[in-house]
Amino acid sequence: MVKYQLAILISYLFLSVVIAARLRVCSGNSRKFCYNGKQVYLSGMNQAWKFYAHDFGNGQYSSSKVHLESTLKQIHKNGGNSIRIWLHTTSALTPRFNSTGHVVAADHCNNHIIAEMKEYLCAAERYNIVVFFVLWNGADPNWWRNFQWARQFNGLITVDSKLQSYIDNALIPIVKGLKTFSSLGGYEIINEPEGILFTAANSVACFDASRLAGSGAGFAAQHQFPNLFYMHRLQRFINWQANAIKTHDPNSLVTVGSWRENPQYNNGPSNTFNYYSDHCLIQAGGRSLGTLDFYQIHTYAWNGAYSTTSPMVPTNSASLYQLNKPLVIGEFSHVGSDGTRSLIQLVEHAYNNGYAGAWSWHALGLYHHSDPLSPQLLALDAIRWRPFVRLVLGVVNINCRNPTIGIFDIRRDRFPVQGRPVRNQCSLFTRGR
């Protein structure tokens, strides 16, 4: 019996370490994505969330599961291949902090968030969709009004030991736990960090945010300095986390989504600069692996018009920004456009003009600048048969047989307790309490 159990364990271990192909930057074209050696265009949308900041961790996924997995199914049905979804946002529910503001775990429930993210990735694998998890949100206009959230989030950006505690006790366990999934595209360190940026001058070019003064940067904190951060602190925040991800999962792609094109622009007008270049991020954080794999710009019209340098201006192609990595239009919508073209036409513009992908905003279809889900699906369907859009993922992760459980425990011929759902330990942290 022991030999039989040992054989099962060895087989399980072998299957678990089979490395499935992952999405990556093409070796022969640094501005495009490839999967299994074939070019891929990222056609998809933002899920963003079902319950803001409450979709993963502490057993919360069970409340969001039906909606989130239905979105994956509908994207697949309409020919899409990718999705962007948010995780901690501003620390409202996860990770877990102690009384000094240091992170001690990824959630309040023995890092159960990892099992929940695995379950979502398993669903994504079934539908041939690659997932990008957005760790943090710099565009939330309410974060600084909650004292606890503000203290926690502020600490991660301004105190090195607190950021390192998050990396050690939450981020690295997450990254290690998910790295075998072919449906994992990667991680976005922070959505629209410019929302909490203090546009201060600095003698160091990479840290001089005065170029963005008057552009709208600082919008999430109503431009009030106590709730804003210097550019070099935000760059360090990005650099350290990106470095940790690439150290423990070199196959994960890392990005940052800017609220407009100005902060991700080489050799452009005087109010632009590439603050997230390899050089700038390493200069700020000092960690050599802490760089981005692709750039990401969001674009919406203001007072009915796009900025002249917006990626959605009909004459603007990806080459305008002179970037040496793939460029994805990470947020856009018809509702938030200049109204001159349909959503399908906006999607076709992104596809035809050198961008590496485009994600419409957003699946829930609510709130500011969001199109309903139905026209977003129709827009995906409009390009589904174009070259490079179809994606078929390779080896399905063995954990997808039951993503909430762990490896066999030979001594008891069962699955270990630490890998099973632990809802009794999460009861105090469920949504709405």
Sign for the CA dihedral angle at 345, 347, 351, 354 comes to: positive
Q: Dump pLDDT digits (tens) for 238-276.
A: 999 999 999 999 999 999 999 999 999 999 999 999 999
- Residue 148's pLDDT band, with cuts at 50, 70 and 90, is confident
- Residue 291's pLDDT band, with cuts at 50, 70 and 90, is very high
Give me the amino acid identity at 323: L
- The CA–CA distances, whole Å, from 304 to 222, 335, 338, 398 equal 22, 10, 5, 49
Active-site residue among 188, 192, 194, 261?
A: 192
Which comes out higher in pLDDT, residue 367 or 392? 392
Question: Phi and psi dihedrals of 305, rounded to 5?
Answer: -140, 140
Q: Dump pLDDT digits (tens) for 159-178.
A: 999 999 999 999 999 999 99
Which comes out higher in pLDDT, residue 170 or 426? 170
Instruction: Indicate if 188 belongs to the active site.
Output: no
Share of the chain above pLDDT 70, in %: 87
Active-site residue among 188, 194, 261, 331?
A: 331
Q: Is 344 helix (H, G, I), strand (E, B) or coil?
A: helix
Residue 3, pLDDT above cutoff 90: no
CB 69 within 8 A of CB 61: no
CB 101 within 8 A of CB 151: yes
Question: Domains in the chain and their CATH numbers?
Answer: 2-429 (3.20.20.80)
Q: Dump pLDDT digits (tens) for 43-69.
A: 999 999 999 999 999 999 999 999 999
CA distance 273 to 250: 27
Instruction: Indicate if 194 belongs to the active site.
Output: no
Query: What would the 3-class secondary structure string for 267-305 be?
Result: CCCCCCCCCCCHHHHHHHHCCCCCCCCCEEEECCCECCE
Write down the pLDDT at residue 104. 98
Give me the amino acid identity at 98: N
Write down the pLDDT at residue 150. 87
pTM above 0.85, yes or no: yes
